[in-house]
Structure formats: C-alpha cells, structure tokens
C-alpha cells in the first residue's frame, strides 16, 4: 500500500474517475477527491472507489486553509470542458482562476503538480501540434474552453515561483469508460454505440471542406487507460525525484497517430461484431466554423522525458471500451 497522499480535482468526472481507479489498482488509497459530488449522473463514477475523503469543489480552498492536510502530490484535472459553452467567464472561473489557486497552493507548499491543458489550445492547427513553449503566445484557440486553457498555460510559463516539479498535459481526443454523464460532449464512440443499438446506423458529420472527404476528418484519439498510465508515470517520476526541474513544462498527450472518424466508427461496429453502416449528415452551424479537421500530437517531448510505454491502437482501445464497459454498462 502506497503511503503518499494524493489530491485529485475533478474526481467524479470521466478521465479523473479512471485515474482514481488506476491509482487504487497501484495501491494508492490515501486519496483526497475534489469535485461537485452532488451530480447524481456521476455518482457511480466515484462511489465505489477507495479514498480518504471527498471535498466539495466550491469549498475546496477554505477546506485546505482550515484542515491544512498533508499532501504529497496534486493531480489537477477538474475543469469546465464543454466546448459548446461560449460564455468565457464560466471557463475563466473554473479553468483559469481556479487553476491559479491550485498552482499557488502547490508553490507555497512545495507540492509537485500535474494539470490538464488541452489540444484545443492549438486552434485550427495552423501552427502545428508541437508542445513547444515558443508558440504558446501565438496560438489562437477556436472556442472559450481552448482560450481558457491556453491562457493558463501562458500564465504558468511566466511564473518564477513554481511548484518544485510540474507538467501541463495537453490531452488530445480522449475516449473510454466513465463518460456516461457527458451526453452531447461524450466521445464519438459513445454516440456511435448508442446509435447502433437504437437504429443500426451511425451518423457522422459531412466534411464542409473540399480537402477532406466525408468521414475522413482526422483526430488523434487516445484511450483513457493510456492517459492515466502517463499521469501515474509522471507522478512517480516526480515523487521519487527522477524528474528534474528542467523537464517542467507542457506536454502533448495523444498517440502521435491521427485516425479518421470513419476508422473509429468501423472499429465500434467491429467490437459489436457487426458490419459498418454509416450515414453522413450536415454539421451543426454553431460548430461549423470552429471545427478541427485534423489533430495529431507530436509526442517526441514526452518520449525524450523518458516515457516508453506503448499506447493502445485505436482498434484495441475501442474493442476494450465497447466490449468490457459499454456493452455491460460498467464503469472502470
């Protein structure tokens, strides 16, 4: 059993509840979980996990001040992630201001930190998908969510007072268990699975660009089980001081291999032992001008930092997700 006490924000959500489960499996049970735990749709994501205590997001910083807990590591993944929420103040409050408070707490108490950034910071990809600090000021995200994440990245890089070790992780297109509550914002696999069960057909967006055929829009899809393994590796590197301050900074986290939505849907049908049946529909106007047609993480920086594990292929990840979770309505 690990003795380290780890504090995790966003713990009732999709990726983070997977993180908690993975940490439990690695022997971490002395966990402080932070989130809005009043959302019933997320309850099954966290209620059977092993942890020390839960803290409501709204009272988190007051709780820290009052309890002064011993904390060895913070995984800050809590955020407002809805890319169709266009009120920037919502994102600024939860993704920028809140993150500054977490950072300052880690700095004041010399606690290593891993936090969630996003590939949404890269906008339409004009400047590429390199986790190079030199381009951060030039990036133009396509929505308020991406803006809020990039603004915090910029702020973090400007700080002379920092946590001893830290990494901001730019998640690409994550899919996997525990996203039942996300509805419209759930992965295409989740939507595909439900469309197949209901109608036997999956509807994909048509391309509205001449240089992409329908269904050939490309994304760097990464399985949630790979995300949590990378964060666990970062945490162990930092806790055991294998990490150095020179490695502090922003890191892409995708597979480094873009795949099409058509590939994704075909893998979903295959996991259900069915032949593909795809219909193409017009993209909603509210997202048409803010749609990314291609994302692919440059993963050299993380590899150079020492991460060597192989990622799930798209087919392997979808097969595990569909057969072992969606079909059985299970959480991880």
- CATH code of 270's domain: 3.90.25.10
Both tokens of 255, joined, read 């597979």
Domain containing 79: what range?
Answer: 6-175+221-256+293-311
Instruction: Examine residue 327 and state whether it is found in any structural domain, yes or no.
Output: no
Q: Is 191 helix (H, G, I), strand (E, B) or coil?
A: helix
Residues 196 and 55 in one domain: no
Q: What is the pTM of this model?
A: 0.94
Residue 244 sits in the same domain as residue 213: no
Q: Are residues 298 and 208 in the same domain?
A: no
Comparison of pLDDT for 235 and 144, the residue scoring more: 235
Give the integer Cα–Cα distance in Å for 141 and 120.
6
Active-site position among 115, 122, 145, 175 = 145
Domain co-membership, 206 together with 156: no
Q: Is residue 322 part of a domain?
A: no
**318 lies in a domain?**
no
Please indicate, yes or no, whether residues 109 and 251 belong to a single structural domain of this protein.
yes
- Report yes or no on 316 lying in a domain: no
Q: What are 198-248's pLDDT values in tens digits?
A: 999 999 999 999 999 999 999 999 999 999 999 999 999 999 989 999 999
Query: Total structural domains in the chain?
Result: 2
What is the spatial distance between Cα 6 and Cα 26, in angstroms, rounded to a whole number? 13
Question: Which residues are within 8 A (CB) of 138 and not within 5 positions of it... i.e. 6 or more apart?
Answer: 127
Whether 209 and 238 map to the same domain: the answer is no
Q: Residue 304 belongs to a domain with what CATH number?
A: 3.40.50.720
Residue 1 lies in a domain: no
- Domain identity same for 33 and 69: yes
* pLDDT for the residue 131: 98
pLDDT digits over 13-52, tens only? 999 999 999 999 999 999 999 999 988 889 999 999 999 9
How far is Cα 71 from Cα 77, in angstroms, rounded to an integer? 16
Q: Residue 248 falls within a domain, yes or no?
A: yes
Same domain as 267, residue 249: no
* DSSP β-ladder status, 259-260 and 218-219: antiparallel
- Does residue 25 lie in a domain region? yes
Residue 183 has pLDDT above 90, yes or no: no
Marked catalytic residue, from 44, 154, 182, 203: 182
One domain for residues 142 and 228 = yes
Residue 320, in any domain of the structure? no
Question: Active site includes 122?
Answer: no
What average pLDDT does range 318-329 have in this prediction?
Answer: 97
If asked whether residues 90 and 203 sit together in one domain, one would say no
Mean pLDDT of 264-270: 98
Clarify whether residues 252 and 262 are in a common domain. no
Q: Are residues 63 and 136 in the same domain?
A: yes
Told to judge if 145 belongs to the known catalytic residues of this protein, a careful annotator would answer yes
The span from the CA of 221 to the CA of 260, in Å, is 9
Question: So what's the pLDDT on residue 78?
Answer: 86
């Amino acid at each position: 059993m690990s003795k380290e006490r780890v504090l995790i924000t966003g713990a009732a959500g999709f990726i983070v509840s997977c993180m908690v489960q993975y940490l439990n499996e690695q022997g971490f049970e002395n966990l402080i979980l932070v989130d809005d735990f009043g959302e019933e749709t997320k309850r099954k994501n966290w209620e059977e996990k092993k942890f020390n205590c839960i803290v409501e997001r709204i009272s988190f910083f007051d709780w820290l001040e009052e309890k002064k807990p011993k904390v060895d590591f913070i995984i800050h993944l809590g955020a407002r992630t809805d890319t169709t929420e266009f009120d920037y103040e919502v994102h600024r409050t939860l993704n920028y201001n809140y993150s500054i408070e977490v950072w300052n707490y880690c700095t004041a108490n010399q606690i290593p930190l891993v936090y969630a950034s996003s590939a949404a910071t890269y906008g339409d990809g004009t400047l590429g998908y390199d986790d190079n600090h030199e381009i951060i000021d030039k990036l133009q995200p396509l929505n308020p969510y991406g803006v809020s994440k990039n603004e915090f990245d910029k702020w973090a890089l400007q700080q002379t007072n920092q946590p001893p070790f830290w990494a901001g992780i730019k998640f690409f297109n994550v899919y996997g268990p525990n996203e039942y509550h996300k509805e419209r914002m759930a992965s295409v696999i989740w939507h595909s699975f439900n469309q197949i069960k209901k109608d036997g057909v999956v509807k994909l967006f048509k391309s509205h660009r001449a240089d992409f055929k329908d269904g050939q829009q490309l994304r760097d899809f990464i399985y949630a089980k790979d995300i949590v393994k990378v964060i666990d590796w970062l945490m162990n590197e930092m806790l055991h001081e294998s990490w150095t301050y020179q490695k502090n900074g922003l890191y892409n986290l995708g597979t480094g291999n873009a795949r099409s939505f058509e590939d994704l849907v075909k893998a979903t049908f295959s996991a259900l032992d069915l032949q593909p049946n795809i219909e193409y529909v017009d993209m909603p106007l509210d997202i048409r001008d803010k749609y990314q047609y291609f994302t692919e993480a440059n993963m050299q920086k993380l590899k150079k930092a020492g991460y060597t594990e192989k990622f799930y292929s798209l087919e392997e990840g979808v097969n595990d997700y569909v057969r072992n979770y969606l079909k059985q309505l299970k959480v991880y």
